Structure 1
Amino acid sequence: MVSVLDRKLLRDIRALRGQVVTIALLIGAGVAVLVMSVSSFLSLRGAQQAFYAESHFAEAYAEVERAPRTLLARIAEIPGVALAEGRVTGEARVDWPGAEVPVAGRVLSLPVGGEQPALNRLRLLAGRLPEPTRHDEAVIHAAFAEARGVRPGDEIAVILNGRRERFRITGIAHSPEFVFTSRPGNPLPDDRGFVVLWANEDAVARAFDMQGAFDQVVLTLAPGASEPAVIAELDRLLLPWGGRGAYGRRDQPSHRFLEDELAEQRTLAVTVPLVFFGIAAFLLNVVLGRMVEAQREQVAALKALGYPSFPIALHYAKFVAMICLLGSALGVAAGAWMGAGMLGNYRPFFRFPELPYLLPAWLPLLAAAASFAVALLGVLAALRRILRLPAAEGLRPARPAAFGGRVLGGVGRRLGARAKIPLRGLLGRPLRTLLTVLGIALAVPMVVLGLFWWDAMDSMVELQFDRIERGDAFVALTDPRPSRAVREMARLPGVLAAEGQRIVPVRLRAAQRSRLLALTGLPEGAALRVPRDVDLRPVPIPRHGIALSRRLAERLGVREGDTVQVEVLEGARRVHDLPVAALVEDIIGFTALMEIGALNRLMREDDLVSHVALRVDPLAAEALWQRLAERPRVAATNVKAVWLRVFDEVIAGLVLTSAVTLTGFGVIIAVGVVYNSARVALQERGWEMASLRVLGFTRREVSRILLAELALAVLVAVPLGLVLAQWFVGLILGARDNESFDVPAVISTATFATAALVVLGAALASALVVRRRIDRLDLIAALKARD
């Protein structure tokens, strides 16, 4: 049998269906963000863990100039080492017909006998491994194969160690080492410009003159082993053979980039839903609280009829549960759809054999429970106030808002009735007005959070590639060459300017903190790479000491004037203590700089360069790239225009998804707050509106009085929302922990203006809907004596 309160529940839902839907959409937005963020994180993490376990991904790496294979037995005996495997690796250049720029590559050896390696095993998508006796067969990475349309049986021409080799592709594979693949020096994947090949050990060793030797060892650790201790012992063993510094999995490039993204997703999966549910709790407190306040007489009547407080509270809990059920259903469906879409945007970044979308059963239940708890908090405070009222007092109309000389002084007495009524509604209940204004204001940051990424990306590109990296191309040499190589490149047709750089791998230490990175030597007065400080002013290359990026200095815990230990991981592996002479800004990765002459002296070598930055005549660029591809000492050519194009192609999808999603949520918040505020105001003041109509006010005049109150709240809320937007952006970016990119908290005037217009548009649309309801106001029903 349906109780009286249950019938009232159904009647309320039917009568308030517009408000029920908008509140459900508000709850659904919070649920959708939670489901989208957490499910995409769990999907990425699940794919990573499954692929790493299946392929026996190595836990430590070490590179060496040349070490005999007999040394592997001693490495395997290091305490804590479970399994060690040596291999030969090398840089490659692919002669690909029609390529816009030379295709860079890397080749790795497979074990003798044509078997899978013990560590970092390949996941074959098509074809087979090379035959043990064939030196002209290779497996190719799936990313390049997909981008270039390579199939088993195709041939590919590769330049290894200055010699041209041809390989027949026998298989297409994924590797845990190259879940994220990029050209050397590029922070984004370029599937068309970078290729990874695996060939038999004999073929690779012959190409690089490494017969009976290895230049890289990969290993796994025994349970409970100390990674620092294993790495230290591994460095000691490899030092006589030109060891370049062992490192753990966290410094492996592909894994580091993936972990950065997972750390960011984990942060966003916590912070963004918390922000949304915090906003939702606040808004629901405003909206549902006012809705319950509007029914104070009904609650009082129920108490007068003998209903205890608990059934009445349960009635409103059921009302909230119905709204939450609708909102959660919409939110879970939308969140799953958006999560799957976000995962699709990650596929060009991270190459897993499978990247299934995971939506565990507990996540929708958690989201629904969180939404119910948030919504219930929104209604309990108001319900508690009403339930504590004596029935006789609750049956009387609420006391009119205080307004008059105490609020506006003499100005209030001089105002006309049309001005006094909306001002009374706003200033007579300052707390409710403040909550409504703040609720509308919170819609602005949601729109800004979606749109500001375009501003951040534009700022990153402008800083990194217009102000810092001023060259058009960056040429990596196969090995350090005398500085006359720069003059030779400068004489090539189409080259307008050339500057040499010396880049060496180093380990920086400060107290207990350390970091592996590349130390770059720049010529004094360099024009093609100009370091800049936090105010974007050029920073002179220090002749004495080292310049660190601000983010790197923070990671190491040092400031300008402090000393860092620099261990060179090349040549004699010397260690030096250098002062931090300057701090510079960077966007991509971490930066450490020295004057090139000082770096050469530090290395105790002649005037050498390993990289050359070029400024190029655009009309001669294509011919120049081909000339560089033919030079045997050129390992790779990174072209700024190509990098920017890849940046746009890869980043655009992620930014667009974020912009559309968060803008949509901002609209939902704006509509939910504005529409419900106006509807509750109409419900509270229906008697007043009807009285004014009877006294001769027109529909337009009555609407103007009520909507003027709403308009004033919106006009105050939008500027406040713009201030909150800057704070929210800084809060979320401050929670990021990403070494690959430093996203600046830059918000353009256009983004602020767009967010303001979106919220104003949502408020206007809500106002028009409420205006129609005012026009349809039943005067007789509104003027009836209260039961």
Structure 2
Amino acid sequence: MLDRMLLRDLWSLRSQAITVAMLIGTGVTVLVGSVGTYTSLLATQAGYYGASRFADVWAELERAPRSVLARLSEIPGIGVIETRVVKDVRVDWPRSDLSVAGRIVSLPDGGQPVLNRITLQRGRWIDAQRNEVLVSAGFADTWSVEPGDPIRIILNGRLQTFTVAGVAYSPEYVYATRPGNPLPDDRTFAVLWASENAVAPAFDMQGAFNAVAATLAPGAPEREVLAAADAVLDRYGGRGAYGRRDQPSHRFLSDELAEQRTLAITVPAIFFGIAAFLLNVVLGRLVEAQREQIAALKSLGFPSLPIAAHYLKFVLALCGLGCAGGVAMGLWYGHGMLNSYRPFFRFPELAYELPVFVPLLAIGLSVVAAATGALGALRRVLALRPAEAMRPAAPPAFSHILLGRRWRPAVKMALRGLAGRPVRSLLSVLGLAMAVPMIVMGLFWWDALRFMVAVQFDGIDRADAVVSFTDPVAGRAAREIAAIPGVLAVEGQRVAPVRLRAGTAEYRLGLTGLAAGAQLRVPREQDLRPVPVTSVGLTLTRGLAERLGVSVGSQVTVEALDGKRPVAVVPVAALADEILGYNAYIEISALSRLMREDDHITQAAVRVDPNEAYSVWRSLTQRPRVAAVAVKSVWLQVFDEKIAGLVIVSALVLTLFGIIIAAAVVYNSARVALQERAWELASLRVLGFTRGEASGILLAELGVQMLLALPVGLVLAKQMVKGLLALRDNESFQIPAVISDQTYAIAALAVVAAGLGSAFLVRRRVDQLDLVAVLKTRE
């Protein structure tokens, strides 16, 4: 009997059941898709790192004889160790209008390296007796480079022609960026691998090396191993050993994995929370509507537990419906998310693999959420006394409220209805309010991206290009660039590799020296006010300050990693807010004094006449001491293609789900209200009210609830966005909690549109009320 009643309830409440199932389904979809993407990336990373024997420790230096390898091997905790030659070079690539930077890595003449092994995508291995190279897959795919093609490389100022033997992947360059550019651009950066016979003589490195890669023995303390390696390499111009955490490619991949994990936890939790809330409302009101039937069953000797189990089955049926669709949609969503990572992360294979536990976890969590939402109703079923419940529920106690005489009767009745049931009205308002942040959480990404571009590329990086030199040069190099026709302004900058220490925290980065009053690179606060760069202290980005655990006035130890390698203690003078990465600034002359060097620059920020930009870029790329020219318009294009493209995939899905949820929440609230008020509306119709007057009371109540819910929803949206971003731990780029008025307006209008659509459907239902049947339900 109860099972037949269950089917009848599901059919009679099919609209509300579908909306709740959709909410559960969206939570399952995001959970399956996000966790599946996360586990696929994690499994791919682990498998690739293991197969290629990815190193644990790296070190760069000026030059050391091969005999030093024996001393490094003796360091306690060092496992396998390998030396090589790594140099930044220029690629003479006629197909590109801009300079192409490269990094050439030596390979053992006997074949594969022991660590960081190379995987061929196509072609063959290099012949050590010929000038042959392997080219990174990203660059090769972008420019359609095939084995057998020639490629010209400037090695230490000498142009040499190599033949492409193959196209390859490396675990060190899963995320490959050119010097001075935090974003991967396969059009202007290539990783090249050549035999040591070809690389070492070009840089006077025969019998020597300038880079080390090593693994750690099991249980070895990384910090002590790094310190010991620094002690050995210091006299050879060592630039500071570092572990996996600071390896650029691994760092960005780890950041993205952490972000994916955060989204996989928080967003489904929000969806399941709303679903539990709606289930609590729907099931609670269903129990209230059927209280007399429950009482009759109990009075006939029916135990309470089977009755409670009947309502639990109702909840589980909705879970089953939502989970079935959610798992299928989650597979589609996961494949789409993983495909959006392919331009970012260059793995030999990147396949979506969904572990069995993921859909089981999603189903289990949805059941827990649904059961949690049903607890209140189930308690009422168990506590219901037959004698009391067989009487009709007492009408709400109405108190006097101030209502003007000019108010329409329908509005007055709606307001009295809301005031007479304050708890129920509050829950309805909160349910409607939750629809707003669901849409905002999808749309705000566009606002954040626009703000990021405006701040980083218009407010902070105001130059049209940044010219990097092969080595530190005298300040007059900036004046030489200023003399090129079409150049409007030039500012020399010095970037020195340093390690910042504060207590036990440390961070490696390039400390940037800027001229006093510089206009082409301007650190700013979040409200875009300029932050002065002084000679008496460091200006740190806020994320870096938090990472080091310092604030304005704190002391930071600055360890230079090249040149004379001085160490100085410098105070923090100011904090700035930036989008891309962690940065530190100081006045350029103060940096020269700190480095104990003459006034040198390593790069120059340039502003040019747009009509002569092309000729300026060509002129700069032809200069022998220019290593690379990073053009802002290309940065913007890369940002749109890479960062924006990656974020927008998730934003589109979240926006779509947000709109679905908003419609579901609003419609569910309207249908539940209709179900509760059907007897009263039918009574009014019998008393002579027209269909419009009767439905107007219900619609006015819904309208008042929406008016109250919208401002609450807008406040909730801001707080939920802040909370979501606060959970991010991403060093590569920071997303600000910026929400435009347009986004708020779209979210509010979407909820209003859902309300109007629901009002139309509810009005139709009111018009179709069977007055005799409805009035009999109170008997």
Q: TM-score range by the shorter chain?
A: over 0.9
1:103 corresponds, among 100, 103, 111, to: 100
Q: Which residue of structure 2 lines up, in the alignment, with residue 603 of structure 1?
A: 595
Match of 1:312 among 293, 307, 313: 307
**After superposition, where does 1:218-237 map in structure 2 within 5 Å?**
218-237=213-232
Cα drift, residue 675 of structure 1: 1.9
Map 1:139-218; keep pairs closer than 5 Å: 139-218=134-213
Shift of 1:265: 1.4
Matched, 1:329 2:324: yes
The answer (yes or no) to whether the contact 1:60–1:246 under 8 Å persists in 2 is yes
Tell me the CA shift for residue 534 of structure 1.
Answer: 4.3
Alignment partner, residue 502 of structure 1: 494
Q: Is 1:586 aligned with 2:582?
A: no
2:390 maps to a residue whose letter is L
**Does residue 1:480 correspond to 2:472, yes or no?**
yes
- In the alignment, which of 550, 556, 564 is matched to residue 564 of structure 1? 556
Q: What's the counterpart of residue 431 of structure 1?
A: 423
1:666–1:759 CA contact under 8 A, matched in 2: no
Partner of residue 127 from structure 1, selected from 120, 123, 128: 123
Check whether the contact 2:27–2:267 (CA below 8 A) recurs between aligned residues. Answer: no
Secondary structure of 2:347 counterpart: coil
Gaps of 5+ in 2: none
1:74 is the counterpart of 2:66: no
Q: Deviations over 1:190-235 (max 9, x none)?
A: 1111111100011111222211111101000111111111111111
**CA displacement 1:214-265 (0-9 Å, x = unmatched):** 1101000111111111111111111111111111111110001111111111
Match of 1:394 among 389, 397, 402: 389
- Superposed CA offset, 1:100-144 (max 9, x none): 31111111000022x10000001111111111211x101111111
For 2:475 and 2:284, the matched residues in 1 are separated by 75
Contact 1:475–1:637 (8 Å) recurs in 2: yes
2:239 counterpart letter in structure 1: R
Return the alpha-carbon distance in structure 1 between the equivalents of residues 223 and 700 of structure 2: 68
1:776-787 equivalences under 5 Å are 776-784=768-776, 786-787=778-779
CA distance in 1, matches of 2:530, 2:665: 48
Query: Helix, strand or coil: the match of 1:685?
Result: helix
Cα distance in 2 for residues equivalent to 1:678 and 1:294: 16
The one-letter amino acid of 1:139's match is L
Question: Residues 416 and 213 (structure 1 numbering): CA distance in 2 closer, same or farther, change over 3 Å?
Answer: closer
Question: More deviation in 229-238 or 776-785?
Answer: 776-785
Between the aligned partners of 2:351 and 2:46, the Cα distance in structure 1 is: 13
Give me the whole-angstrom Cα distance separating, in 1, the residues matched to 2:348 and 2:711.
48
| Contact 2:304-2:381 at 8 Å conserved across structures | no
Deviation at 1:381, TM superposition (A): 0.8
TM (normalized to structure 1)?
A: 0.97
**Matched residue SS, 1:527:** coil
1:634 and 2:626 are equivalent in the alignment? yes
Identity %: 61
Contact 2:16 2:672 in 1 (8 A): no
Question: What letter is aligned with 2:128?
Answer: P
| Matched AA of 1:17 | R
Matched, 1:15 2:7: no
SS at match of 1:541: coil
Alpha-carbon separation, structure 2, partners of 1:785 and 1:646: 65
Alignment partner, residue 364 of structure 2: 369
**2:58 alignment partner in structure 1:** 61
Which amino acid is 1:44 matched to? L
CA shift, 1:98, in A, is: 3.0
Q: Specify the code of the residue in structure 2 equivalent to 1:25.
A: M
Conserved in 2, the CA contact under 8 Å of 1:292 and 1:379?
Answer: no
Distance in 1 of aligned mates of 2:435 and 2:375: 24
The 8 Å contact of residues 438 and 662 in structure 2, kept in 1 or not, is answered as: no
* Distance (Å, rounded) in 2 between the aligned partners of 1:185 and 1:712: 56
* Equivalent pairs, count: 779
Cα–Cα, structure 1 residues 785 and 759, in superposed 2: closer, same or farther, change >3 Å? closer
| Alpha-carbon shift at residue 412 of structure 1 (Å) | 8.2
Counterpart residue type for residue 675 of structure 1: Y
The offset of 1:73, in angstroms, is: 1.6
User: Partner residue of 1:521?
Assistant: 513
Higher mean C-alpha deviation, range 477-486 or range 689-698: 689-698
Question: CA separation in 2, counterparts of 1:534 and 1:417?
Answer: 51
Residue aligning to 1:726 = 718
> TM-score, normalized by length of structure 2?
0.98
Q: Distance in 1 between matches of 2:525 and 2:368?
A: 48
Matched, 1:85 2:78: no
Following TM superposition, where does structure 1 have runs of at least 4 consecutive aligned residues deviating by more than 4 angstroms? 412-417
What secondary structure is seen at the aligned counterpart in 1 of 2:200? Answer: helix
User: How many Å separate the matches in 2 of 1:188 and 1:595?
Assistant: 26
The offset of 1:91, in angstroms, is 0.9
Q: Secondary structure at the match of 1:466?
A: helix
CA distance in 1, matches of 2:77, 2:644: 45
Aligned match of 1:717: 709
Instruction: Report the secondary structure of 2:737's partner residue.
Output: coil
CA contact (8 A) 1:436 1:673 kept: no
Amino acid at match of 2:531: V
Q: 1:546 to 1:656 in 2, by over 3 A?
A: closer
Cα distance in structure 2, aligned partners of 1:660 and 1:775: 38
Residue type of the alignment partner of 1:607: D
Q: Call closer, same or farther: CA 1:531–1:667 in 2, change over 3 Å.
A: closer
Q: Which residue number in structure 2 is paired with residue 254 of structure 1? A: 249
Who is 2:650 aligned against? 658
1:609-643 deviation per Cα after TM superposition (whole angstroms, max 9, x unaligned) = 11011001111111111111111101111000000
Which amino acid is 2:187 matched to? R
Residue identity opposite 2:600 in structure 1: L
Gaps of 5+ in 1: none
Structure 1 position 659, deviation (Å): 2.5
Matched position secondary structure for 1:62: strand
8 Å CA contact 1:404, 1:412 repeated in 2: no
> Do the aligned partners of residues 183 and 774 (structure 1) sit closer, same or farther apart at CA in structure 2, a change above 3 Å counting?
same
SS in 1 for 2:161: strand
1:116 maps to a residue whose letter is Q
- How big is each residue's C-alpha offset from its partner over 1:140-162, in whole Å with a ceiling of 9 and x where there is no partner? 11111111111111111111221
Q: CA deviation at 1:414?
A: 9.1
Instruction: Confirm or deny: 8 A CA contact 2:403 2:412 kept in the other structure.
Output: no
| C-alpha deviation, 1:297, in angstroms | 2.2
Q: Helix, strand or coil: the match of 2:232? A: helix
Rounded Cα–Cα distance in structure 2 between residues aligned with 1:510 and 1:684: 63
Aligned with 2:542 (options 526, 543, 550): 550
Q: Distance in 1 between matches of 2:11 and 2:46?
A: 49
Residues 447-476 of structure 1, C-alpha deviation per residue, up to 9 Å, x if partnerless?
Answer: 111111111111111111111111100011
CA distance in 1, matches of 2:526, 2:9: 58
Equivalent position to 1:349, from 344, 347, 354: 344
Contact 2:448 2:739 in 1 (8 A): yes
Deviates most, 656-665 or 311-320:
656-665
Partner of residue 768, structure 1 = 760
Query: How many Å separate the matches in 2 of 1:100 and 1:67?
Result: 37
Letter in 2 for 1:107: I
Is the 1:402–1:424 contact (alpha carbons within 8 Å) kept by the matching residues of 2? no
Greater Cα shift, 103-112 or 383-392: 383-392
- Taking the aligned partners of 1:785 and 1:180, their CA distance within structure 2 comes to 67
Q: 1:47 aligns with which of 20, 44, 48?
A: 44
Q: 1:305 to 1:668 in 2, by over 3 A?
A: farther
Residue identity matched to 1:442: M
